Amino acid sequence: MTAGGSTSGAAAPLAGRVALVTGAGRGIGAAVAERLAAAGAHVVVNDLDDGPLGEVLSRIGAASGSALGFNGSVTAANFAEQAVAACVDAFGGLDIIVNNAGYTWDGPLHKMTDEQWLAMLDVHLTAPFRILRAAYPVLKDQARRDSQMGVERRRKVVNVSSIVGLVGNAGQANYAAAKAGVQSLTRTLAKEWGRIGVNVNCVAFGHIETRLTQPLTDASATLRIDGRHIAVGVGHAVLEQLRTQIPLGRAGTAEEAAGAVCMFCGPDSDYVSGQVMVCGGGLAAF
């Protein structure tokens, strides 16, 4: 699935750049994909579900943006290589990677199964690792060509984490461990990839309004992941407690979350790398 169009001029700081955004059919990922397209990037939009994926592509196309849909699970064996190849085949390269795909599967540690534990590590930590590993030859080759032409061009990786990865959270040992790992992966890769012109940063979100954080009810949404049905939502008491702890007094929107991610995708962050930024309305990280 594709959406075609072009944006040019001063309002398109990412004109000609190619971006891969995982988990971009809904919520934060969708907002990131649309914002990058509005800034002029060609966006490869990934999601598990064709319906939401098609809606994002339609909105990008209606706004004269350029996008390609890439359906699939980031945890699939060949996903990383195929996603990178889709970027190169469709748009000629890869400049921006946003590792956003993920979900939660909560439970107290003493009741947590190996399946629950490994599922969170797979989607939040192993999948980004594989995508970045698959992207390395493309990014290195592009850097080599830039050097031969005497130009400096910064490329960007933004990994999505959570404030839970900084402070932990009861019932989320698996998710917290995976998101903490994402932060260390970010800092390490920034040291490895700086020499090939890649900035690697991370956004750790606080309470953002998505389907994963909707109020928990008897009719709460259920995710279907690899044949599993996983209920999502947050209890009313927990949501109210969160709101009282957030200095700005409310949860963030997906669009506000996308703003934090996109700060690291554009030229204003060309000398920023290896950073973990908390986007949580002032919610304390420590």
Q: Would you call 271 a catalytic residue per the annotation? A: no
Distances (CA, A) of 77 to 71, 73, 83, 86: 14, 9, 12, 16
Helix ranges (DSSP H) in 194-281: 236-245, 254-263
Place of tokens 């969170």: 120
Torsion of CA 215, 220, 224, 227, to 10 degrees: 120
Separation between Cα atoms, residue 125 and residue 154, nearest integer Å: 24
- Asked whether the beta carbons of 100 and 21 are under 8 A apart, the reply is yes
Nearest to 49 by CA among 222, 253, 255: 222
Task: Tell me phi and psi for residue 151, to 5 degrees.
Answer: -120, 155
Q: Which of 103, 136, 175, 271 is catalytic?
A: 175
Distances (CA, A) of 41 to 4, 20, 59, 100, 273: 11, 10, 15, 17, 21
Catalytic residues: 175
